[in-house]
């Protein structure tokens, strides 16, 4: 696949925000791939912790609604170097280096022009 999907918001990133982003992306993934299992790499942050009941509730609802097995793969604390998203964030940070992210439009525009493996990410903003 090789694509990157960035979902931005000007609100706090919550368990519901993560689940809503997944639900938004799911029709596109399902149309392109015959998915029966979805593995989600997570960092045990406060919004997606395995102890966070709202996050687990939303993932169970997503799995039941979409008839897909969802596996939550948690990286151990202080091992972010193994998490692929950290490499993508590093590319983005290098891309917008020395830029002041003063507006939503500027932030989204810079994110859209980033390249990883020759591809720009798919960027969405949720209010």
Please tell me the distance from the alpha carbon of residue 83 to that of residue 114, in angstroms, as a whole number. Answer: 19
Tell me the C-alpha distance between 19 and 16, whole Å. 5
Look at residue 42 and tell me whether its pLDDT is greater than 80: yes
Mean pLDDT of 37-61: 89
Report whether 121 contacts 112 (CB < 8 A). Answer: yes
* Helical (H) or strand (E) element with 125: strand 122-126
User: How far, in Å, CA of 19 to CA of 26, rounded?
Assistant: 10
Q: Alpha-carbon distance 20 to 59, whole Å?
A: 10
pLDDT band at 101 (very low <50, low <70, confident <90, very high): very high
Res. 1: pLDDT tops 60: no
Q: Judge contact between 10 and 127, C-beta under 8 A.
A: yes
CATH classification number, 5-126, choose in 3.40.1710, 1.10.8, 1.20.120, 3.30.420: 3.30.420
Percent of the residues in the chain that have a pLDDT greater than 70, as a whole number: 99
Task: Check residue 82 and give its pLDDT.
Answer: 77
Per-residue pLDDT tens for 51-89? 889 999 999 999 999 999 999 998 887 777 777 888 888
pLDDT of the residue at 115: 93
The per-residue pLDDT for 79 is 75
Give the tokens for residue 86: 């950290």
**What residues does each domain of the chain span?**
5-126
């Amino acid at each position: 696949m090789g694509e990157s999907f960035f979902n931005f918001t000007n609100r706090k990133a919550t368990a519901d925000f993560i689940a809503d982003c997944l639900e938004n992306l799911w029709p596109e993934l399902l149309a392109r791939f015959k998915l029966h299992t979805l593995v989600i790499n997570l960092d045990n942050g406060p919004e997606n912790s395995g102890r966070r009941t709202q996050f687990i509730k939303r993932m169970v609802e997503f799995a039941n609604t979409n008839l897909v097995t969802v596996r939550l793969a948690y990286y151990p604390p202080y091992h972010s170097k193994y998490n692929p998203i950290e490499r993508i964030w590093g590319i983005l940070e290098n891309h917008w280096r020395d830029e002041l992210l003063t507006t939503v439009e500027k932030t989204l525009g810079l994110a859209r022009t980033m390249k990883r493996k020759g591809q720009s990410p798919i960027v969405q903003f949720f209010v």
